[in-house]
Amino acid sequence: MLEHVYLIPLLPLAASLIMLFAFKESEHSPAPYVGIAAMLWCFIQSCVIFYGVAKGGIHLPYEANMEWFKLPVDIGGRSFAYSMPLGVLIDGPAAVMLIVVTLVSSLVQIYSTAYMHGDPRFRRFFAYVSFFTASMLGLVVSSNLLITFTCWELMGVSSYLLIGFWFEKPGPAYASKKAFMTTKLGDCGLYLAMLMIFIKVGSFQITQFQEFVLRGYLAPAAATFIGLGILFGAAGKSAQFPLFIWLPDAMEGPTPVSALIHAATMVAAGIYLVAKCYFVYLAAPVAMETVAWIGLATALMAATMAVVAYDLKRVLAFSTVSQLGFMMCALGAGGYTAGLFHLTTHAFFKALLFLGAGSVIHAVHTNDMREMGNLSKKMPITFLTMLIATCAISGIPFLSGWYSKDMILEKVYEHSPVMWGLLAFAAMLTAFYMFRLIFLTFTGTERDHEKFHHAHESEYPMTVPLMILAVLAVVSGAALAHNGFVSTLFAAPVLPGAKEAAEAPAWIGWAMTAGVFVSIAFSYFLYRGPEFKTAESLKSTFKPVFNMLEQRYGFDAVFLGLVAVCDGIARVSYWIDSEVIDKVFVDGWGLLMQIWAHISELFDQLFIDKTVDGFGGLSVDLGVALRVLVREGQVQEYLMYVAIAVSLIAVLILFR
């Protein structure tokens, strides 16, 4: 199965093309089954590969390349044909990501058959989802950074198409534009890093690049540049500080797409790329430290913003941003294994949370948590699965999130206790706002009676994926952490001569767990009961703080200001172009030429033409004048003139 791993990105791609071009648009189109079948096949193949890895039958990393294209190169007088390879590279993280992506995408597609039922662009939705997943899978398996970059950009396009899926409404159209532009801004950094890699290493092959760096050939300055460039790209894709502004708006897309973006594709890509290029950060401590602090800042800011949001999906979006910050911080603090572990477990419970939120929204037709309440009576399956996911993300012991978050905090403590303190606070906030979501949505009393009355549990295609994901959210952490399997699976590349960090004390894990329970209790204290008066009174007391959080620290304003400045520059440039360059240089030059043409025409008419006419007229006049000399009809006179002329010519010739 491993030798046919290239099928994993190619099958969904083929499926999406088939769905786009071979099927007619209809509300009951059979197109989704093509996509689901392709994705399930990929899932099975990924599982077989992973099983082989777990059993030890397959030795990773596995790499297979073929020639993509050749180009003639001439460097320093030596000319040769540079061959660009195209291939797959499967290591531990890739093997796990394949399972995560294919599973989540399959479940999302199954879920969407019910969720998107009756949408006028039913078939197109599934085609886009398949395409999106195919791009992500391509990024996961690629052995060549150029292909990785291509898939990265394809993912940007598909996220644009999917976030703006309901493009008739102004909100999604704006959100898709915002997401696209913001991630593009990050991609500029990645692009610069790619150029630098090719200049320095002369290859886009990840393995060659890794060997180059681990042998210490890469200068620290170049490594820092590349590291920061990749980080900037990842900050765009994974919604890190300061480019996280697009992710909360991306909620305008259909909810299954949000689940896909937040769990398996898109935002995972940034973390995954940083992990793939982890060796660069090992060689560039400055870049590594930047990764850690960016992650920490993101985790804290997003967590605080989630606390005040009332939009169900927006809370989850901020929570994703925050969790991604955790992963970044872990990677930056040297917790390569911990970061990837959290990426894996997070994918399951975040997909579950989003699909559950979709189920709730499908039932009550609103995103506002203030209009929900007591839904656990109406939607028991959704409630139970979401509760499990919430426990997992909050870090309730022995659920998946507990294992990975524990590992992250341990690594961060080893790196810097101050950072640990801040991150632990963010983790407590996570527990707080996630349980706030549960309390507001599912418990208490119904606040909007009409909406509550119409609410009902969703049908099986929606609840079954929830249950599957709930099982994974419970067991995936324990299964991967069993006997330290995760450490061998996600074995970090090591620089020669690196020393082991000090072990973190055992108490921090239990302190964290205690903190989580305290914040859950606090959340219950604030949001129990029908009207959550305590929370509201707190909100009016600390109004400026809440306002700032609801304004997302003014980041949107900053970026809009940036856009306005660019707009202003563009407008000035346009003015200069249209008013100065066009008027003065282009039109002025034209006018000058026109005047010059008039002058030459006048000159032509007055002098040149007159001269030509003058010569003609002179000959005519001369002829007329000479005729006067001749008496007509006198042959002898004619003869005389001939004789005179001949003698004149003879004289001229003789005395020349």
Partner 1 sequence: MTLSAYLVVSGILFLLGIFGALTRRNIIGILMSVELMFNAANLNLAAFNRFLHPGGVAGQCLALFIITIAAAEVVVGLALVLAINRNTDTVYVEEFNLLKG
Angle at 428 between CA 425 and CA 432, to 5 degrees: 135
Residue closer to partner 1 (CB basis): 81 or 624 = 624
607-612: which pairs have CB atoms within 8 A and are 24 or more residues apart?
Answer: none
Give the shortest CB-644-to-partner 1 separation in angstroms. 10
With H, G, I as helix, E, B as strand and everything else as coil, classify residue 343: helix
Query: What's the burial of 556, exposed, middle or buried (CB within 10 Å: 0-12/13-18/19+)?
Result: middle
Binding of partner 1 by 26 (CB under 8 A): no
| Minimum distance from residue 614 beta carbon to partner 1 (Å) | 27
Stretch that binds partner 1, among 1-9, 73-81, 365-373, 639-647 (CB under 8 A): 639-647
Distance CA 369, CA 361 (A): 10
Task: Tell me which stretch binds partner 1 (CB under 8 A): 20-28, 53-61, 430-438, 629-637.
Answer: 629-637
Q: Is 60 helix (H, G, I), strand (E, B) or coil?
A: coil
Rounded CA-CA distance 162/152 in Å is 15
CA triple 157-159-165, angle to 5 deg: 105
For the CB of residue 655, give the shortest distance to partner 1 in the complex, in Å: 17
402-431: burial string, b at 16+ Cβ within 10 Å, e else? bbbbbbbbbbbbbbbeebbebbbbbbbbbb
Stretch binding partner 1 (CB under 8 A), from 175-183, 235-243, 561-569, 638-646: 638-646
Least separation in angstroms between CB 636 and partner 1: 6
Distance of CA 616 to the CA centre of its chain: 81
What is the C-alpha to C-alpha distance for residues 188 and 180, in angstroms, rounded to an integer?
12
> Closest distance between partner 1 and the C-beta of residue 629, in Å?
15
- Binding residue for partner 1 (CB under 8 A) from 24, 79, 632, 653? 632
> Among the candidate windows 226-234, 381-389, 567-575, 631-639, which touches partner 1 by CB under 8 A?
631-639
- Residue 639 binding partner 1, by CB under 8 A: yes
Spatial distance between the Cα atoms of 590 and 596, rounded to a whole number of angstroms: 10
Q: Is 654 in the site for partner 1 (CB under 8 A)?
A: no
Q: How far is the CB of 609 from partner 1 (least distance, A)?
A: 33
Residue 57 has what DSSP assignment?
A: S
570 lies in the site for partner 1, by CB under 8 A: no
- Please pick, from the candidates 518, 566, 643, 648, the single residue that binds partner 1 as defined by CB under 8 A: 643
Q: Which of 17, 5, 91 is nearest to 42 (CA)?
A: 5
Does residue 635 belong to the site contacting partner 1 (CB under 8 A)?
Answer: yes
- Contact between 544 and partner 1 (CB under 8 A)? no
Task: Kindly state whether residue 503 participates in binding partner 1, applying the rule CB under 8 A.
Answer: no
Per CB under 8 A, 633 contacts partner 1: yes
* Cβ proximity of 254 and 314 under 8 Å: no
Closest to partner 1 by CB, 66 or 625: 625
Span of 42-50, 54-62, 481-489, 637-645 interacting with partner 1 by CB under 8 A: 637-645
Q: Which alpha helices (DSSP H) does 116-169 contain, by range?
A: 122-141, 145-163
Cβ proximity to partner 1: between 478 and 640 the closer is 640
Stretch that binds partner 1, among 436-444, 482-490, 517-525, 634-642 (CB under 8 A): 634-642
Q: For partner 1, which residue of 580, 618, 640, 645 counts as binding (CB under 8 A)?
A: 640
SS3 88: strand
- Could you give the CA distance from residue 32 to residue 105 in angstroms, rounded to a whole number? 12
Closer of 622 and 639 to partner 1 (Cβ): 639
Is 636 one of the binding residues for partner 1 (CB under 8 A)? yes
* Region from 449-457, 483-491, 561-569, 630-638 binding partner 1, contact rule CB under 8 A: 630-638
Burial class (CB in 10 A: 0-12, 13-18, 19+), 157: middle
Closest distance of CB 651 from partner 1, Å: 14
- Which residues make Cβ contacts (< 8 Å) with residue 173, sequence separation at least 6? 164, 167
User: If binding means CB under 8 A, how many residues of this protein chain bind partner 1?
Assistant: 8
Which of 589, 634, 649, 650 is in the footprint of partner 1 by CB under 8 A? 634
368 Ramachandran zone, left/alpha/beta (phi>0; psi -120 to 50): beta
Tokens representing 422 are 């801040």
Residue with tokens 């692009």: 191
Complex with partner 1: residue 26 or 647, whichever CB lies closer: 647
**CB closer to partner 1, 28 vs 627:** 627
Q: List the structure tokens of 489.
A: 């699976």
| Count of positions (residues) in the chain | 656
User: How near is the Cβ of 626 to partner 1 at its closest, in Å?
Assistant: 14
At 62, give phi and psi (nearest 5°): -105, 130
The interface region with partner 1, picked from 111-119, 467-475, 554-562, 636-644 by CB under 8 A, is 636-644
In the stretch 578-617, what mask flags binding to partner 1 with x, by CB under 8 A? ----------------------------------------
Distance CA 211, CA 208 (A): 5
CB of 599 to partner 1, least distance (A): 47
Binding site for partner 1 (CB under 8 A): 632-636, 639-640, 643
